[in-house]
């Protein structure tokens, strides 16, 4: 039983080790993968810029087009899918690689084709008849590590053909035929060749696949190359109907039981019965995996960093497994059956899945765009705060690099250098700017003009409005079907200079506009065009005689798209930043901003979390995005990203400020607000229905067992007696331990129960008088004896710590007594640390149950908090963002248009164009009458007081070359070229490490606060420079991470660094 489990684990480890052993094969595989064609959106433009800088050309590009537009490249569009938009970076690369492998690399083989080249049989081998199986005989079969060789006979020509089931990745790379075993083996090698941290997954019900570690998402991603799918763990149990039992994951240096990822029935009797075929119980199973993991670590001499990473991943995975198993159901409805393999082969394995087809029309529902889209955080105050506000509106930048995902084009509307448009593939982007400060207040995208009108109806008068309409699906000259009601027409008519009728009927691809709501200033301008290279620019002089005060607003569970640098060492050393509180970080940031030097003039705020530095943010950091944190009170020190950015005072709640008192108050109230669902029945059966509990007067009172143990995470049974010398020595330590914990964790803590081995009631009373905790009544001798027997207590003193939810042992008597003794010697902090360590040892299902309760409680509190914040917002920021009803009544009505004056004006224009006077008079009356009926033309808007200029011009193509970028960063660092050289040389070392061993994931990702990488992070503009040079920066649950993408051309990247260092090296 256990030996079979051992055998399968060892076999999986051998497979994973093969992926590491043949470095030459890994290099061959990497060279064979068409990376640029698979993920052009990740690499094409960057590498084209590199080639331009290096005066090189790529295959399929001409010298005169080194930047390139994709001509001559065979993009693998068959590997593109609509949901690619949900994936980023290396994760997207994995998704495309999985489909590419299924489509172009490996061929499924039910039976091999006839080996006779003259046979007119079918290529798929349908005419082949199985004749049995033999062992490897030929040299090729032995070198290819064929575990067995299937023998077939051709019914047409009688030729014998063999199908060796190779286990060698090199043999598979040459044959490229097989079933799920061969698919997973070679695909795992492909993943490792590219540098993916990959583990081999063996399903004991006869299927295999791989999992790949996502540095971006900090989790393992399921990847099945037979199906060409990733991240579908429900596919086997819910889709194929598999009766799973074990799924193990193996790498060359670790092994884990990952069954819980692929089932939601793990704790069902039926599922557990299937697992008992391989291990007598779960404890035995866990022990085998631990033993195998320990042996692997000793054998491979794993470094400390890798060992810590494996442990961290294991803990996070166990926590996740416990959470998903507690629900018992799959969250996603997946009904498709197996794709790979013949129908008969799938049916024989009972993997056809549900045969129901999708309802017609259902498939397209998810692709329908919402009528309105906005950024996660809309308001943003650009750093260039002066009286000259510049707004550019332009069509989306064209690109010939294909992508199935709708492209975002924030550059369609640029406010003070900040790309700020939310864009739809075919829709209308609108950005609202504060006319008093130049702050971006709101940014949204709409599918039609009616939605724009409804939105503008909520905007206060006087706001500056920028609009970009894109109709890429409408060729120039095509008809439109837009119709506007009178209400929408009237609202849009409040935009002076915006031609509502033209916008509703225009067949042009783009409509560009900048103006002011309820005014018609001279600088308001509008442009209809189908030329993607046309734009409008507006420069507005703001009135800053009484500027709005700017304050920091906190955005919880929010991160910027990128950071600029960290707080300088001179303000707060890095190690101090990692340990500082939110209040201390705020004080340090304020001190930095008061310096008034050129470096902080571009800073608009900062982002941080506990144990992370203070990362500064600038105009490049917009838009913000939601982080994955799920904490309720980050100010109290809980792990969550918080971004603080300057906004005008009306947009910042009055109580949005960090003080020492607020932090202290948050810490004091940081107590769980849900009840622990302890195992009442179990403890009543174990200890009886009542326990002795001491009140404030230290007088023992009989209390129900459930009440005595209520809201405790752990229960410790203390077996002791007065006559025992070691007991008398240990009891004072245990009393100290208990008293400290009651202060640290008065709720959700630990309750101790004294189980006496005294000789009589008198001894018991005398001894128990020295204890503050609960006790089993001395008269209940049967329960005392039962507890000793259940927990195997053979001597005293003995301390057994159990989980309050399940009754399972958390800490054995041998460990607990020694740990308590050591903790008490080291002091209160050590006692608290020991208690937290015990909590981490509770069964995963118990930990998950409490986490679900905490999240549920948090959700209620969050909704309550949000409701309160909404009320507060309505009294301040909401009043500033939204038009109040009183505004319509107080606003001076626009001046009515004089019909006769309008007729004269039109008449003069027509005559000037050469029309005969009588005809011009008739036409003028006609046009004036039509205009009079339109709400948008029945009134004349005032010009307003804001001055500015406008121009229609060609789109400015920023020639942001590598040299220009480096010079920009040099200026940010006071022209110090030695700093640039240090940044480049440090980054180059990381690139060089990857180039030496591109298949090793160890050198790919690094925290920005890493001691070595901080040489880069601590310099202004360094992160922006590295992203230009091919690095990718993203946030994780612990820090911002810099990554060398798996898709990047390392040779080109290294050549760029080499060339730069010839100029900037010291």
Name the E strands within 1022-1062. Answer: 1032-1035, 1040-1043
Residue 223 and residue 210 in contact, taking contact as beta carbons nearer than 8 Å:
yes
Give the angle 375-381-384 at the CA atoms, nearest 5°. 135
| Token pair listed for 675 | 């009840």
Coil, helix or strand for 20? helix
Residues sharing a CB contact under 8 Å with residue 990, sequence separation 6 or more, in sequence order: 1003, 1006, 1013, 1044
Residue 978 and residue 986 in contact, taking contact as beta carbons nearer than 8 Å:
no
| Token pair listed for 782 | 């049967």
**Taking the CB of residue 772, how many other CB atoms lie within 10 A of it?**
12
DSSP label of 497: T
Q: How far is CA 434 from the centre of its chain?
A: 32
Residue 443 and residue 423 in contact, taking contact as beta carbons nearer than 8 Å:
no
207 is catalytic: yes
Half-sphere exposure of 159 toward its Cβ, with a 13 Å CA cutoff? Answer: 16
Residue 203 and residue 250 in contact, taking contact as beta carbons nearer than 8 Å:
no
How many Å apart are CA 981 and CA 987, to the nearest integer?
10
Half-sphere exposure of 958 toward its Cβ, with a 13 Å CA cutoff? Answer: 8
Residues sharing a CB contact under 8 Å with residue 1055, sequence separation 6 or more, in sequence order: 50, 54
| Token pair listed for 525 | 């301008």
How many Å apart are CA 970 and CA 967, to the nearest integer?
5
**In terms of Cα–Cα distance, which of 1004, 986, 984, 994 is closest to 1044?**
1004
How many Å apart are CA 993 and CA 110, to the nearest integer?
43
Q: How far is CA 881 from the centre of its chain?
A: 30
1035 is catalytic: no
252 is catalytic: no
Q: Which of the following is catalytic: 109, 114, 180, 727?
A: 180
Residue 924 and residue 907 in contact, taking contact as beta carbons nearer than 8 Å:
yes
Phi-psi region of 55 (alpha: psi -120 to 50; beta: other; left: phi over 0): left
Phi and psi of 350, rounded to 5°?
55, 50
| Token pair listed for 779 | 């008269």
| Residue matched to tokens 């089931």 | 165
Q: How far is CA 568 from the centre of its chain?
A: 28
| Residue matched to tokens 């994973």 | 16
- DSSP secondary structure letters along 219-264: EEEEEETTTTEES-GGGIIIII------EEEE-SS-EEE-GGGS-S
| Burial class for 283, CB neighbours closer than 10 Å (0-12, 13-18, 19+) | exposed
Q: Which of the following is catalytic: 191, 207, 727, 803?
A: 207
The helix or strand, by DSSP H or E, that contains position 539, with its residue range, turns out to be strand 534-541
**Taking the CB of residue 390, how many other CB atoms lie within 10 A of it?**
16
Tell me how long the chain is: 1066
In the chain, count of helices (H) and strands (E)? 35, 41
| Token pair listed for 20 | 């590491």
| Token pair listed for 810 | 């958390």
**In terms of Cα–Cα distance, which of 758, 734, 929, 983 is closest to 834?**
734
Residue 976 and residue 1064 in contact, taking contact as beta carbons nearer than 8 Å:
no
Can you list the alpha helix ranges (DSSP code H) found in 476-565? 486-492, 500-505
Q: Which of the following is catalytic: 224, 618, 1039, 1049?
A: 224
Residues sharing a CB contact under 8 Å with residue 869, sequence separation 6 or more, in sequence order: 653
Residues sharing a CB contact under 8 Å with residue 977, sequence separation 6 or more, in sequence order: 970, 1064, 1066
Active site residues: 180, 207, 224
């Amino acid at each position: 039983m256990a030996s079979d489990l051992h055998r399968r684990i060892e076999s999986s480890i051998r497979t994973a080790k093969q992926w590491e052993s043949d470095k030459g094969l890994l290099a061959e595989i990497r060279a064979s993968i068409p990376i640029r064609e698979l993920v052009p959106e990740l690499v094409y433009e960057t590498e084209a810029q590199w080639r331009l800088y290096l005066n090189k050309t790529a295959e399929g590009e001409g010298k005169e087009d080194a930047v390139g537009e994709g001509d001559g490249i065979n993009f693998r569009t068959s590997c593109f899918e609509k949901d690619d938009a949900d994936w980023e970076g290396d994760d997207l690369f994995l998704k495309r690689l999985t489909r590419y492998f299924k489509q172009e690399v490996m061929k499924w083989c039910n039976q091999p084709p006839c080996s006779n080249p003259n046979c007119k049989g079918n290529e798929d081998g349908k005419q082949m008849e199985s004749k049995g199986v033999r062992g490897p005989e030929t040299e090729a079969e032995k070198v290819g590590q064929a575990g067995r060789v299937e023998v077939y006979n051709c019914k047409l020509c009688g030729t014998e053909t063999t199908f060796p089931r190779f286990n060698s990745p090199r043999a598979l790379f040459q044959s490229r035929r097989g079933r799920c075993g061969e698919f997973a083996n070679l695909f795992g090698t492909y993943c490792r060749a590219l540098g993916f941290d990959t583990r081999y997954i063996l399903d004991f019900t006869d299927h295999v696949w791989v999992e790949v570690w996502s540095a971006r998402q900090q989790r393992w991603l399921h990847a099945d190359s037979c199906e060409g799918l990733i991240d579908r763990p429900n596919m086997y149990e819910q889709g194929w109907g598999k009766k799973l039992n074990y799924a193990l994951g193996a790498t060359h240096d670790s092994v884990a039981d990952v069954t819980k990822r692929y089932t939601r029935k793990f704790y069902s009797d039926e599922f557990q019965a299937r697992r008992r075929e391989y291990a007598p119980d779960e404890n035995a199973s866990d022990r085998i995996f631990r033993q195998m993991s320990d042996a692997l670590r000793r054998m491979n001499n794993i470094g400390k960093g890798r060992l810590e990473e494996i442990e961290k991943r294991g803990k996070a995975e166990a926590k996740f497994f416990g959470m998903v198993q507690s629900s018992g159901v799959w969250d996603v409805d997946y009904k498709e059956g197996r794709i790979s393999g013949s129908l008969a082969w799938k049916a024989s394995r009972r993997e056809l899945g549900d045969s129901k087809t999708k309802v017609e029309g259902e498939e397209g529902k998810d692709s329908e765009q919402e009528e309105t889209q906005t950024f996660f955080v809309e308001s943003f105050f650009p750093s260039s705060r002066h009286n000259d506000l510049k707004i550019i509106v332009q069509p989306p930048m064209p690109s010939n690099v294909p992508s199935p995902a709708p492209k975002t084009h924030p550059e369609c509307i640029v406010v003070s250098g900040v790309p700020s448009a939310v864009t739809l593939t075919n829709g209308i982007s609108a950005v609202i700017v504060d006319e008093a400060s130049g702050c971006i207040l709101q940014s949204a995208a709409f599918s039609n003009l009616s939605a724009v009108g409804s939105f503008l109806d909520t905007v206060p008068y006087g706001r500056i409005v920028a609009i970009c309409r894109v109709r890429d699906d409408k060729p120039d000259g095509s008809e439109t079907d837009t119709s506007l009601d009178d209400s929408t027409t009237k609202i849009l008519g409040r935009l002076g200079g915006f031609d509502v009728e033209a916008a509703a009927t225009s067949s042009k691809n783009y409509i560009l506009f900048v103006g002011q709501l309820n005014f018609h200033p001279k600088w308001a301008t509008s442009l209809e065009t189908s030329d993607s290279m046309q734009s409008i620019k507006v420069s507005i002089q703001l009135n800053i005689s009484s500027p709005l005060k700017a304050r920091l607003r906190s955005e919880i569970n929010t991160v910027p798209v990128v950071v600029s640098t960290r707080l300088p060492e001179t303000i707060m050393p890095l190690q101090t930043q990692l340990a500082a509180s939110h209040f201390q970080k705020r004080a340090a940031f304020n001190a930095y901003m008061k310096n008034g030097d050129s470096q902080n003039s571009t800073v608009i705020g900062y982002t941080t979390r506990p144990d992370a530095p203070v990362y500064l943010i600038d105009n490049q950091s917009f838009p913000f995005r939601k982080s994955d944190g799920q904490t309720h009170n980050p100010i109290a020190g809980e792990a969550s990203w918080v971004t603080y950015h300057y906004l005008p005072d009306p947009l910042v709640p009055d109580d949005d400020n960090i003080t020492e008192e607020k932090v202290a108050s948050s810490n004091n109230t940081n107590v769980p607000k849900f009840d622990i669902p302890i195992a009442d029945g179990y403890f009543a059966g174990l200890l009886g229905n009542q326990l002795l509990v001491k009140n404030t007067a230290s007088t023992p009172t009989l209390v129900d067992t459930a009440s005595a143990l209520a809201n405790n995470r752990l229960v410790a049974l203390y077996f002791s007696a007065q006559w025992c010398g070691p007991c008398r020595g240990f009891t004072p330590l245990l009393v100290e331990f208990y008293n400290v914990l009651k202060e640290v964790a008065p709720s959700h803590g630990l309750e101790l129960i004294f189980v006496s081995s005294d000789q009589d009631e008198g001894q018991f009373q005398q001894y128990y008088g020295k204890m503050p905790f609960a006790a089993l009544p001395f008269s209940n001798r049967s329960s005392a004896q039962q507890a000793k027997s259940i927990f195997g207590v053979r001597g005293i003193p003995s301390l057994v710590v159990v989980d309050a939810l399940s009754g399972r042992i958390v800490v054995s008597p041998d460990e607990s007594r020694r740990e308590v003794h050591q903790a008490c010697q080291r002091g209160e902090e050590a006692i608290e640390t020991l208690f937290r360590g015990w909590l981490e040892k509770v069964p995963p299902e118990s930990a998950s149950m409490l986490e679900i309760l905490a999240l549920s409680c948090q959700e209620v509190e969050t909704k309550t908090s949000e409701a309160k914040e909404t009320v507060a917002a309505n009294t301040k920021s909401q009043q500033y963002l939204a038009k109040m009803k009183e505004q319509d009544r107080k606003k001076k009505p626009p001046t009515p248009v004089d019909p006769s004056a309008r007729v004269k004006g039109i008449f003069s224009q027509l005559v000037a164009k050469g029309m005969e006077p009588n005809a011009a008079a008739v036409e003028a009356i006609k046009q004036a009458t039509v205009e009079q009926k339109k709400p948008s033309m029945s009134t004349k808007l005032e010009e307003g007081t804001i001055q500015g200029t406008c121009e229609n011009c060609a789109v400015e193509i920023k020639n942001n070359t590598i040299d220009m970028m480096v010079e920009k960063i040099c200026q940010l660092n006071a022209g110090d070229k030695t700093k640039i050289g240090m940044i480049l040389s440090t980054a180059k070392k990381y690139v060089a490490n990857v180039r030496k061993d591109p298949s090793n994931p160890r050198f790919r990702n690094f925290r920005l606060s890493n001691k070595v990488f901080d040489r880069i992070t601590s310099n202004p503009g360094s992160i922006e420079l590295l992203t230009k040079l091919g690095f990718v920066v993203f946030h994780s649950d612990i820090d911002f991470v810099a990554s060398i993408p798996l898709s990047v051309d390392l040779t080109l990247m290294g050549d760029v660094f080499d060339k730069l260092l010839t100029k900037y090296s010291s």
